[in-house]
Amino acid sequence: MTILLGALAGTYALSSRPGAVASATLELPTLVDAARELAATSGDGATIVFSPDPTSFDVAIYSGRPHPGGSFDARNPARTARLPGVLSSSLGAGATSAPFAVFISTAGTIAYVDWTPSQGTIAEEPPCTAPLYLAVGTTAQPAVRPVGAGGAAWFQLTCSDARLVLQP
């Protein structure tokens, strides 16, 4: 019964979003789960790079993190995807903000920063002091869901657990 109710709630949540947003709503958590699994087995964590543009966004997952002596290799992503929708985050000033990265430790904790692989290694990952919020919509959205808002998907990624949680 619980599974049926969960499936119905998920179907309703997706049906209230445009097709492109519904597609990204399904794929984005899958990509973060893949990065978390890679982080747990790589010996050096994992890096997810989000590269937003006005109508879609790229997600690249790399083994390792870009610290000096780390195993990160910008030429060899483990997985890439281009997702439809406008990506907004609590990091930047909206959907067309600079690309950013989420670093996942082998223990599953995260850090995040405005960064691209072309910037090279990072001497020290910044501390994670607040959850990272992401929104995917047909237009730029506030990254933290406003009360009563619809038509977009809002996610939260906490500092202590690299699991992307869809906000109701």
Q: How many residues does the chain have?
A: 168
Nearest alpha-carbon partner for 23 in 81, 85, 80: 85
Q: Using a pLDDT cut of 90, give the percent of the chain over it.
A: 59
Per-residue HEC secondary structure of 90-124 comes to CCCCCCCCCCEEEEECCCCCEEEEECCHHHCCCCC
Q: pLDDT band at 142, cuts 50/70/90?
A: low
Q: At what angle do helices 19-42 and 2-15 cross, to 10 degrees?
A: 120
Q: Do 145 and 154 touch, CB atoms closer than 8 A?
A: yes
Question: Is the model's pLDDT at 17 over the cut of 50?
Answer: no
Look up the domain containing 137 and give its range.
Answer: 2-166
Q: Which residue has the higher pLDDT, 82 or 167?
A: 82
- Rounded to 5 degrees, φ, ψ at 71 are -95, 5
This prediction's pTM? 0.84
- pLDDT single digits (tens) 83-141: 998 888 888 655 456 799 999 999 999 999 999 999 999 999 999 999 998 888 887 77
Q: Which residue has the higher pLDDT, 34 or 167?
A: 34
Q: Which residue has the higher pLDDT, 37 or 24?
A: 37
pLDDT at 89: 87
Q: Please give the tally of structural domains in the chain.
A: 1
Q: Do 131 and 159 touch, CB atoms closer than 8 A?
A: yes
Q: Which residue has the higher pLDDT, 16 or 61?
A: 61
